[in-house]
Amino acid sequence: MTETRRIIIDCDPGQDDAVALLLALASPELEVLGITTVAGNVPLALTSVNARKVCELAGRTDVKVFAGCDRPLQQALVTAEHVHGKTGLDGIELPAPQMPLAPGHAVDFLIETLRREPAGSITLCPLGPLTNIATAFAKAPDIVARVGRIVLMGGAYFEVGNITPAAEFNIYVDPEAAAAVFAAGVPMTVIPLDATHQALTSRDWVEHMRGLGPVGAAVASWTDFFERFDKEKYGSEGAPLHDPCVIGWLLDPTLFEGREINVEIETEGRFTRGMTVADWWGVTDRPANALFLRSTDRTRFFALLAERIGRLDA
Ligand code: RIB
Ligand code: CA
């Protein structure tokens, strides 16, 4: 087996975040050093409950969950109950978590862990707004050079926006945080809507999940709920599993294709605030700062996801 990749997952569960957590926790190639939660799809109190519900569902109460920032750096919090439901994990009722939150703020966990572990040995996996990451970088600039890589779900190119005509939700919620992270100079893989809108569940796949066991059944119930938004808005066949694409890339980068380009974050635009301005055709001389993915091998991605989720129900 290749060397274990050590990761910290920063998330705003959200059904798709939850599936990403399950995929990571089921994959021996990954060592999850901790989970940090941020306000996004639903307020922080709920994302912090939901992350622990998922750890308990996966039988992984050994993983520490740290609550992070409860609002963006500058603007008021925008949430997405219209997509994820009131709890953020609508679709199935999971028991309230028994495991406690880990003591301390997520930002301090990020700083302490990056300072303690060997430089370059940790991959940060943001699945929500980038508030925690940007706050940690601002509070402790010395940790920036110690991050091995950031692999995040966010932004869009051709797919443009899902929360405004120009912006994808994770970036839109905290554009200042995104701008700081994209400018930090950390090697970055960006998985935008262009790639994640190809990671659509199919009815057969969902029914396969439902037949697995309690974990698979939860995934099926989440996607049954979560797919409504994209079916109504885009006429999609199924639910786009945005955040699991981040973990999928870590497990098998050949599942995706993209190129190293410059990506800037619009923070001033009256209509375009939160837009990822992706220089896909290299029309500027701005230096490349991200591997920006545009396509997904849907068949192989869902085969991997099914096999790994199946391990949790074995
Ligand atoms: O735009 C999709 C992203 O916003 C996903 O991460 C989803 O969970 C929400 O956070
Ligand atoms: Ca998310």
Cα distances (angstroms) measured from residue 191 to each of 85, 170, 173, 276: 24, 11, 17, 12
Mutate to test the pocket of ligand 1, among 17, 77, 163, 169 (most ligand atoms within 8 A of CB): 169
* Closest to 19 in 3D by CA, of 186, 244, 218, 178: 244
What are the tens digits of pLDDT across the range 106-148?
999 999 999 999 999 999 999 999 999 999 999 999 999 999 9
Distance 209 CA to ligand 1 centre (A): 22
| CB-based contact 167:178 (threshold 8 Å) | no
| CB-based contact 32:9 (threshold 8 Å) | yes
Instruction: Write down the pLDDT at residue 235.
Output: 82
pLDDT average, residue stretch 92-99: 96
153 in ligand 1 pocket by Cβ < 6 Å?
yes
Ligand number, closest to the Cα atom of 162? 1
pLDDT average, residue stretch 97-107: 98
Mutate to test the pocket of ligand 1, among 16, 38, 131 (most ligand atoms within 8 A of CB): 16
| DSSP symbol at 102 | P
Closest-lying ligand 1 atom to the alpha carbon of residue 14:
8
Ligand number, closest to the Cα atom of 169? 1
Cα distances (angstroms) measured from residue 240 to each of 19, 37, 256, 295, 303: 11, 21, 15, 13, 15
> How many Å apart are CA 5 and CA 87, to the nearest integer?
31
Which residue has the least CA distance to atom 10 on ligand 1? 128
40 in ligand 1 pocket by Cβ < 6 Å?
yes
State how far Cα 24 lies from the chain centre. 11
241 in ligand 1 pocket by Cβ < 6 Å?
no
127 in ligand 1 pocket by Cβ < 6 Å?
yes
| CB-based contact 40:170 (threshold 8 Å) | yes
Q: Which residues surround ligand 2, an ion (CB under 5 A)?
A: 12, 14, 17, 127-128, 243
Which residue has the least CA distance to atom 2 on ligand 1? 169
Distance 17 CA to ligand 2 centre (A): 5
* Structural domains for the chain: 5-312 (3.90.245.10)
| CB-based contact 12:47 (threshold 8 Å) | yes
Mutate to test the pocket of ligand 1, among 10, 78, 242, 275 (most ligand atoms within 8 A of CB): 242
Confidence bin at 231 (pLDDT 50/70/90): confident
Which residue has the least CA distance to atom 1 on ligand 1? 169
What are the tens digits of pLDDT across the range 39-65?
999 999 999 999 999 999 999 999 999
Closest-lying ligand 1 atom to the alpha carbon of residue 15:
8
Which of 84, 105, 197, 242 is flagged as catalytic?
A: 242
> How many Å apart are CA 45 and CA 97, to the nearest integer?
12
Confidence bin at 230 (pLDDT 50/70/90): confident
Tokens of 156: 């869009």
- 242 is a catalytic site residue: yes
Instruction: Write down the pLDDT at residue 190.
Output: 98
128 in ligand 1 pocket by Cβ < 6 Å?
yes
Closest-lying ligand 1 atom to the alpha carbon of residue 242:
5
Tell me the whole-structure pTM to 2 decimals. Answer: 0.97
> How many Å apart are CA 111 and CA 245, to the nearest integer?
26
What are the tens digits of pLDDT across the range 158-201?
988 999 999 999 999 999 999 999 999 999 999 999 999 999 99
Strand ranges, E, within the chain: 5-11, 30-37, 65-67, 122-126, 147-153, 188-191, 256-261, 263-265, 276-278, 290-296
> How many Å apart are CA 43 and CA 50, to the nearest integer?
11
Tokens of 162: 């899902």
Closest-lying ligand 1 atom to the alpha carbon of residue 80:
9
